Amino acid sequence: MLMSRPVAEGPGQAPGLASGQAMSEIVRSPGYWATVWRRVLRDPVAVGAALVILAIVLIAILAPYIAPQDPYKGMTLRRLRPPGTEGFPLGTDELGRDMLSRLIFGARLSLFMGVTPVILALFLGSAIGIAAGYAGGWVNSILMRTIDVFFAFPSVLLAIALSGALGAGVLNGLISLTVVFIPPIARVAESVTTSVRSRDYVEAARASGAGPLTIVRVQVLGNVMGPIFVYGMSLVAVSMILASGLSFLGLGVKPPEPEWGLMLNTLRTAIYTQPLLCALPGVMIFVTSISFNMLTDGLRSAMDIKA
């Protein structure tokens, strides 16, 4: 439902010469990725988003060192304290555990559950897509028609169906989400590979004796990586929301682990007594996913790919 259909993107185009370059000077024109990198650095929104993501990643890595309290240790006497309570800057949850520490530790599982499926799907999906696109013929038909079947499910429904059948748990959540993201990535990879396959330079490589593996590695991967990477990046925001959504439903991460979606779920009962407290985990999910979306947008326009 959140996922927009992937748009087939052409192979990465070589950027023009840097503007203002004197004709007489013989300067090696900067590479494609160097140009993209420079353009992203000039986009304040993208840089800001990247910094926010970096901060969240650092919080996740350094959680044991920066969390003021044990995120698992609760005390019934101090349940549901509002933010600003002495010793508990963001209050305590329904079991009296320190909210700030749980939010800090929650970054670990939430990021892991959001990012891992996309990375796994990037590998598996591109492998399937490139294989289908490069092989063509009946291999393509079999692979892509199978992909079509999974694509025929709305993404949230497929994730719920799989993790509902498999049951709760981190691993089952990861499997379900990976399956959800493979089809769109495979489609993008397939369409780019198909368009690259018949290019003259691939013909030339083949004529000069390059085997299929070499052609895929050099000619195809070089062109496919850019669009797929950006597309994968745009899926991270969706994946974060979906992964937390699974935990919010009671699928995915199980208590007492700190995870933002699960925290939203368990705090839901306190919505009338401590509304501000209940809203906090959602703020974290929101900030993370909007940062990923803005970074992707910046990267897209730097790479000149239409949304």
Partner 1 sequence: MLTYTVKRVVYTLPIMLGVTLVCFMLVHLAPGDPLVSVLPPDASQAMKEQMMVLYGFDRPYHEQFLRWLWRALHGDLGASIASSRPVVAEVSKAVGNTLVLASVATLIGFVLGTFFGFVAGYFRDTAIDKLASFVSVIGVSVPHYWLGMILVIVFAATLGWLPPTGAGPGGSEAWTWDWEHTRHLILPAVTMSVIPMGIIARTVRALVAEILSQEFIVGLRAKGLSHLGTFRHVVKNTAPTALAVMGIQLGYLLGGSILIETVFSWPGTGALLNAAIFQRDLPLLQGTILVLALFFVVLNLAVDVVQTALDPRIERR
275 binds partner 1 (CB under 8 A): yes
11 binds partner 1 (CB under 8 A): no
Choices 69-77, 88-96, 201-209, 269-277; region in contact with partner 1 by CB under 8 A: 269-277
Q: Using an 8 Å Cβ cutoff, are 121 and 188 in contact?
A: no
Choose, by CB under 8 A, the member of 22, 27, 149, 171 that binds partner 1: 149
How would DSSP label each residue in 244-277?
Answer: HHHHHHTSSSPTTS--HHHHHHHHGGGTTT-HHH
CA dist 281 and 3 (Å) reads 23
Query: Least distance from C-beta 242 to partner 1, angstroms?
Result: 9
241 binds partner 1 (CB under 8 A): yes
10 binds partner 1 (CB under 8 A): no
List the interface residues with partner 1, window 22-51 (CB under 8 A).
Answer: none
* Nearer to partner 1 (CB atom), residue 156 or residue 205: 156
Query: Least distance from C-beta 23 to partner 1, angstroms?
Result: 30
294 binds partner 1 (CB under 8 A): yes
Choose, by CB under 8 A, the member of 164, 254, 255, 305 that binds partner 1: 164
C-alpha distances (whole Å) from 210 to each of 57, 114, 133, 190, 202 are 41, 39, 18, 21, 9
Choose, by CB under 8 A, the member of 249, 254, 255, 305 that binds partner 1: 249
Query: Least distance from C-beta 282 to partner 1, angstroms?
Result: 3
Q: Using an 8 Å Cβ cutoff, are 246 and 157 in contact?
A: no
Per residue in 251-274, is it b (16+ CB within 10 Å) or e — as a string? Answer: bbbeeebbbbbbbbbbbeeeeeeb
Q: Is 278 exposed, middle or buried (0-12, 13-18, 19+ CB in 10 A)?
A: buried
Q: Which residue has the tokens 């090696």?
A: 28
145 binds partner 1 (CB under 8 A): yes
Choose, by CB under 8 A, the member of 58, 61, 66, 271 that binds partner 1: 271
186 binds partner 1 (CB under 8 A): no
Query: Least distance from C-beta 234 to partner 1, angstroms?
Result: 9
Helices (H), 136-259: 137-151, 155-166, 170-197, 200-207, 212-215, 221-249
98 forms bridges with which residues in the sheet? 92
Interacting residue ranges for partner 1, rule: CB under 8 A: 1-5, 145-146, 148-150, 152-157, 160-162, 164-167, 237, 241, 244-245, 248-251, 261, 264, 268, 271-272, 275, 278-279, 281-282, 285-286, 289-290, 292-294, 297, 306-307
